[in-house]
Amino acid sequence: MKSASAGKRFANRIIDLIVFVILAFAFGMASAIVVLIIYPDAADTIEADFEKYNLIFTLVLHVAYYTILEASSGRTIGKLITGTRVVDKHGKTPSINSVFLRSLSRMVAFEAFSFLGTV
């Protein structure tokens, strides 16, 4: 087993970012439609509410995306396309707790540039 190259890690990040944006857009649109069906008078306030909860929505969806995919298969869409996977020190798919903490650590501003270094 060998570590993924910086190029593959960068590709994983870009692919996962694209997938995440698509998922966030789809989930956001679906949520807005459901809210408007249930509360038709909410059309005037839905944009203001979205601005208010956008950061929380993005963080929760981001952590959920990585946690669910990596805990279940060791792969995100980006890792699936590049042929890489996340493993623990024994070469197995990490526990859900490990993956959850790993996903939370992605919220650190410089995590996006981690592909530049080696571990």
pTM: 0.76
DSSP H or E stretch at residue 26: helix 6-38
Backbone angles phi, psi at 89, to 5 degrees: -65, -15
Closest CA to 79 of 9, 6, 5: 9
The predicted-structure confidence for 49-88, as pLDDT tens digits, reads as follows 777 788 888 889 999 999 999 999 989 999 999 999 998 8
